Amino acid sequence: MTALVDALRRLIPPDRVVTDPDVIAAYSRDEAEWAPYGTPAALVRAGSTEDVRALVAVCAERGVPVVPRGAGTGLSGGANAIDGCVLLSLERMDRILEIDPHERLAVVQPGVVNDDLRAACAGQGLWYPPDPASSPWSTIGGNVSTNAGGVCCVKYGVTRDYVLAVEAVMGCGDVVRLGRRTAKGVVGYDLCGLLVGSEGTLGVITEITVRLRGARPPERTVVGYFDDLHAAGEAVSAVSAAGIVPSALELVDRHCLEAVDRWKNMGLSADANVLLLGRSDTLDDTEADAMAECFRDAGATWSARSTDAAEADALFAARRLAYPALERLGPLLTEDVCVPRRLVPEMLLRIEATAREHDVHIANVAHAGDGNLHPLIITPAGDDAARLRAQKAFDRIVDDAIALGGTVTGEHGVGLLKRRGLHAELDPAAVALHHAIKNAVDPAGIFNPGKVFGDPAA
Residue intervals of the chain classified under CATH 3.30.70.2190 are: 217-323
**Nearest Cα to 68, choosing from 210, 209, 201, 208?**
201
Go through the chain and tell me how many residues it has. Answer: 458
pLDDT the model gives residue 449: 97
pLDDT the model gives residue 377: 97
pLDDT the model gives residue 205: 98
In terms of phi and psi (left: phi > 0; alpha: psi -120 to 50; beta: otherwise), the region of 265 is left
Q: Please state, in angstroms and rounded to a whole number, the distance separating the CA atoms of residues 166 and 79.
A: 20
Give kind and range of the element (H or E) at residue 344.
helix 344-358
Q: Which pLDDT tens digits describe the chain residue by residue (458 residues)?
A: 799 999 999 999 999 999 999 999 999 999 999 999 999 999 999 999 999 999 999 999 999 999 999 999 999 999 999 999 999 999 999 999 999 999 999 999 999 999 999 999 999 999 999 999 899 999 999 999 999 999 999 999 999 999 999 999 999 899 999 999 998 999 999 999 999 999 999 999 999 999 999 999 889 999 999 999 999 999 999 999 999 999 999 999 999 999 998 898 887 777 789 999 999 999 899 999 999 999 999 999 999 988 788 888 888 888 888 999 999 988 999 999 999 999 999 999 999 999 999 999 999 999 999 999 999 999 999 999 999 999 999 999 999 999 999 999 999 999 999 999 999 999 999 999 999 999 999 999 999 999 999 888 77
Q: Please state, in angstroms and rounded to a whole number, the distance separating the CA atoms of residues 137 and 99.
A: 21
Give the class (CATH, top level) of 2-89: alpha beta
Q: Please state, in angstroms and rounded to a whole number, the distance separating the CA atoms of residues 329 and 77.
A: 21
Q: Please state, in angstroms and rounded to a whole number, the distance separating the CA atoms of residues 80 and 98.
A: 31
Residue intervals of the chain classified under CATH 3.30.43.10 are: 2-89
pLDDT the model gives residue 271: 77
pLDDT the model gives residue 42: 98
pLDDT the model gives residue 325: 92
**Options 3.20.20.70, 3.30.465.10, 1.10.630.10, 3.40.50.300; CATH of 96-214:** 3.30.465.10
pLDDT the model gives residue 270: 72
Q: Which fold has domain 217-323?
A: Alpha-Beta Plaits (3.30.70)
Q: Please state, in angstroms and rounded to a whole number, the distance separating the CA atoms of residues 410 and 337.
A: 6
